[in-house]
Amino acid sequence: MESIHGDRIIIRNSDVVNGTIVNHSVPPGHLIFVKLILPASENINTAVAEIDRAIQGFSPELEKANPSYRPKVVVETAAFGYVTIEVHAYVAEMLDYGPEKTRLYLLAANSMTNAGLKPVL
């Protein structure tokens, strides 16, 4: 193996088989997510497509480093006439995620409203 500093690390097979391996690597970003509620009578396909379009490029520096950091839209649950949509995105490490979560929420909510959908706000 190689450390993040380029040092070569050699681990004996017996250590791997008999021990516990801990991954100490740190990803370059932090996952944040927001939830939006949409009445089930609204067009869920349109909502997902519009949110997905609105959040592309949310954290371009992280997306460029690793495509798996691309923002995602997940239809989480559907119950009692409503659909819960989660929007996942990565942000650079920081202590206060509030402003970025607010920006993510507004991008998603505004995209639905602009598409003529009526999310529960």
3-state secondary structure of 118: coil
104 token code pair: 């993510």
Greater confidence (15 vs 80) lies with 80
Q: What is the mean pLDDT of residues 77-105?
A: 90
Q: Domain 26-114 carries which CATH code?
A: 3.30.70.100
Residue 68, amino acid = S
Greater confidence (62 vs 116) lies with 116
Total residues belonging to the chain: 121
Nearest to 47 by CA among 117, 101, 104, 103: 117
Query: Residue 3 pLDDT more than 90?
Result: no
Query: Residue 110 pLDDT more than 60?
Result: yes
In this predicted structure, what is the pLDDT of residue 23?
Answer: 64
Query: Residue 25 pLDDT more than 80?
Result: no
Q: What is the mean pLDDT of residues 52-76?
A: 91
